[in-house]
A and B are shown apart, each in its own frame.
Chain A
Amino acid sequence: MRKRVVSMWFPNLPSDRVARGGAIVADDTRPFVVTHHAQNTDRIYCLNGAAAAQGLHRDMGFSDARAYCPDLQSCPADPVADARFLRMLARWSKRYCPWVGLDGIDGLLLNIAGSAHLFGGEDAMLDDMRARLLRAGLKGRVAVADTRGAAWALTHFGRGSPGEDIARLPVAALRLDAKTDAALQRLGLRKISDLTALPRATIARRFGPDVVLRLDQAMGARDEDISPLKDAPNYGVRMTLPDPIGLSGDVMAGTARLLDRLCAKLKDQDMGARKLQLHLRRVDQGAQVVELRLAAPMRDAGRILPLFERGVGAVDAGYGIDQIRLIAVQVEHLPKAQITYGAATRSDGVDDLITRIGNRIGLDNIHRFLPADSHIPERSFQIAAAAYSRSEGAWVALRPRPLHLFAPEPIAGAGARPPQNFRWRRMALTVGHATGPERIAPEWWLPDENWRSGLRDYWKVDTVQGRRLWLYYTPQNPGWFVQGEFA
């Protein structure tokens, strides 16, 4: 089948993307530019039609542009977001044909051979593309030709009339570099037809093989491929059974086979599963789902399988199960680890344990402590979910701190020294020793309801009854409180 290539070019992709986001009102009357900071100066990276009409151009200094055009709106360039946006457009273009590739940073290439008739012919398809791009607020140029080179030439240099011939386009439309282009111009070779009229050998001898190659590619004498984008990998495997099964041992055996396949897939992509779902379809079309959340990304079938046991045991098989699907719903990057002597992964067992317990009481209910940089006792540590954090950082305790902290409990007392006798939790206590005060000031940069009462003077108090408590006095708002208990 004859190849037909559509080239889409978005000359204003960065500015159109920002304008579509809605943060900036940019229409044909309000000039808007995207700036790029390079070599210590801001330059225009992309501009909309209104800005071009004011005489601004690409690579112009941003300060000059503002001098020309005082009401200029601007926004810094974000090439990563632009690339992401182009990939989104590529995914959208799959509505026209399955064969879509990227063309540089601002274009797409579609091989529409065999799919144009679905849209009522090539012209109708191109009209549809233009209409949809216009509606999306994108300035796009679209053209179709037999070759990739010709389609590119038509979008970048053509006038947009149907059935246009590339012979009349300037030589720059052959995707030549600026130096070769200038050299050709200097010899008076301005159009592609001028170039085709010359003997090939002389062109190749004078300008190198590149010009001839580009000419051949545009004319179709030499083939050029479009490399389509890869689909995102699908981490799902399934098994359909000829006869329904019901024993949990059978289901586990089926799961083991699926798990081997899934883990091989994950290993190929250097990924690890974080959340797995086992769908068990019953013969009466009912479905049961066993979900497994792992404490660490994992792709070791032998370790994952026993973790499924509890969930599979709870499944009601009914009249039998005839299809098993295993899907890694959430995956994380898991690079291959170097196996070294001594640094055997000792935490693996603990991670598995966290997974098993987490599937019963919830992964978020298993915590570990991380140090935090604060003098405020209740903010000197952080509580993090153990499955999603690594224990790191050093613990610094400059002064003894209690083993238990609780919400401040008021006690009766007056004066800056701890009361000799006080009642706490319905116990009458007498102070034996009091060590302090240790003054802790609130962190004014963080609003905290509990620290509204101002400074605190902490005292470590040994009671005659035995308990050692952590009391504090608030001098700015006189009152005594118990906040912790030492060992």
Chain B
Amino acid sequence: MSDFWSHFPPMNTRTHEACGAAAPAFAAALAGHLCGANGKTVFWLRESWAGAQLNPVGFAAYLDPKQLLIAKAARQIDALAAAEEALRSGHIALVVIELSARIGLTEGRRLQLAAQEGGAMGLCLIPEAMGSNAAQTRWRCTPVFDPGGAGADSTLQHWEIIKNKSGTLTGWNVGWHAQTRRINVVSKPAQR
């Protein structure tokens, strides 16, 4: 098993993808890891018809909700344009984009270039199997039932790299510790 901290956080100045039921938790943990201490802003783009409401009180375990800016775009093309703008601005540490449809190679590449120019990280939350080839890495995040984890701050999650442009494909079981705002990596042998 390769070391978790050599893969996380994923490479800056690139866009990445996350899918699976725990993808929002992955985004929150990434935001907490990148900006929890330094007070930088996280930009979260959603489509305006998205049903579930982000709950800032729940986010408080990850980062100060002050640092969160939410934008709602009516169409995906607007969301992508706004994401490009935000990535390029250089004042945003992480841009999270919720996507409902597959994006083409052109759009994905444009996001990569914008991230490179602005020195920011992009993260697309995508439905299963709708990834773009331009992404640097793709993470599949699924919650796992932990028989002894009733009091844990988050569910145990299995984060698995299923696409990596420069590295191996591996996976880890992780959890979030709210008080220290840190990711706990659970070693696999302990699970068995």
A484 touches B91 (CB 8 A): no
- B150 in the interface (beta carbon within 8 A): yes
- Size bracket of the B interface: 35 or more
User: Which listed segment binds B: A67-75, A233-241, A378-386?
Assistant: A378-386
Cα(A378)–Cα(B58), bound, Å: 11
B60 touches A395 (CB 8 A): yes
Cα(A464)–Cα(B178), bound, Å: 23
Contact bitstring B47-71, A, C-beta under 8 A = 1, else 0: 0100111111111111011101111
- In whole Å, how far is A235's beta carbon from the nearest beta carbon of chain B? 28
B52 touches A404 (CB 8 A): yes
B-side contacts of A367, CB under 8 Å:
69-72
- B78 in the interface (beta carbon within 8 A): yes
- A486 in the interface (beta carbon within 8 A): yes
- In whole Å, how far is A304's beta carbon from the nearest beta carbon of chain B? 16
Given the known interface contacts A365-B72, A433-B150, A487-B25, the answer about A403 and B58 at a Cβ–Cβ threshold of 8 Å is yes
Contact bitstring A124-167, B, C-beta under 8 A = 1, else 0: 00000000000000000000000000000000000000000000
- In whole Å, how far is A55's beta carbon from the nearest beta carbon of chain B? 64
- B115 in the interface (beta carbon within 8 A): no
A386 touches B69 (CB 8 A): yes
A468 touches B24 (CB 8 A): no
B71 touches A466 (CB 8 A): no
Instruction: Mark out the residues of chain A between 372 and 412 whose CB falls within 8 Å of any chain B CB in the assembled complex.
Output: 377-378, 380-381, 383, 386, 391-392, 395, 397, 400-407
Instruction: Mark out the residues of chain A between 199 and 230 whose CB falls within 8 Å of any chain B CB in the assembled complex.
Output: none
Which residue of the partner chain A has the closest CB to B73?
Answer: A361
- A369 in the interface (beta carbon within 8 A): yes
B145 touches A377 (CB 8 A): no
- B74 in the interface (beta carbon within 8 A): yes
B69 touches A464 (CB 8 A): no
A360 touches B52 (CB 8 A): no
Cα(A404)–Cα(B68), bound, Å: 15
A466 touches B144 (CB 8 A): yes
B-side contacts of A366, CB under 8 Å:
69-72
B145 touches A369 (CB 8 A): no
A-side contacts of B72, CB under 8 Å:
361, 365-367
B70 touches A368 (CB 8 A): yes
Contact bitstring A475-487, B, C-beta under 8 A = 1, else 0: 0000000001111
Instruction: Mark out the residues of chain A between 415 and 471 whose CB falls within 8 Å of any chain B CB in the assembled complex.
Output: 432-433, 435, 462-468
- In whole Å, how far is A430's beta carbon from the nearest beta carbon of chain B? 9
A487 touches B149 (CB 8 A): no
- A353 in the interface (beta carbon within 8 A): yes
Q: CB < 8 Å: which of B51, B55, B150 contacts A403?
A: B55
B143 touches A377 (CB 8 A): no
B-side contacts of A386, CB under 8 Å:
69
A-side contacts of B21, CB under 8 Å:
466-467
B57 touches A401 (CB 8 A): yes
- A52 in the interface (beta carbon within 8 A): no
B65 touches A369 (CB 8 A): yes
A-side contacts of B149, CB under 8 Å:
433, 462
- In whole Å, how far is B175's beta carbon from the nearest beta carbon of chain A? 9
Given the known interface contacts A360-B82, A395-B56, A487-B154, the answer about A350 and B51 at a Cβ–Cβ threshold of 8 Å is no
Which 6 A/B pairs are nearest by Cβ-Cβ distance? A466-B143, A487-B25, A349-B91, A369-B56, A433-B150, A391-B66
Sample 25 A-B pairs with CB under 8 A, ordered by A number.
Answer: A350-B92, A352-B89, A353-B92, A367-B70, A368-B70, A369-B68, A383-B70, A386-B69, A395-B65, A395-B66, A400-B61, A402-B55, A403-B28, A403-B59, A404-B53, A405-B52, A433-B150, A435-B150, A462-B146, A465-B145, A466-B144, A484-B55, A484-B58, A486-B154, A487-B154
A positions within 8 Å CB-CB of B: 349-350, 352-354, 356-357, 360-361, 365-369, 371, 377-378, 380-381, 383, 386, 391-392, 395, 397, 400-407, 432-433, 435, 462-468, 484-487
- Since A352-B91, A365-B48, A468-B143 are in contact, a sample of 12 more A-B pairs with Cβ atoms closer than 8 Å, ordered by chain A residue number, is A353-B92, A357-B86, A360-B81, A377-B57, A403-B24, A407-B51, A433-B149, A463-B145, A465-B145, A466-B142, A486-B154, A487-B61
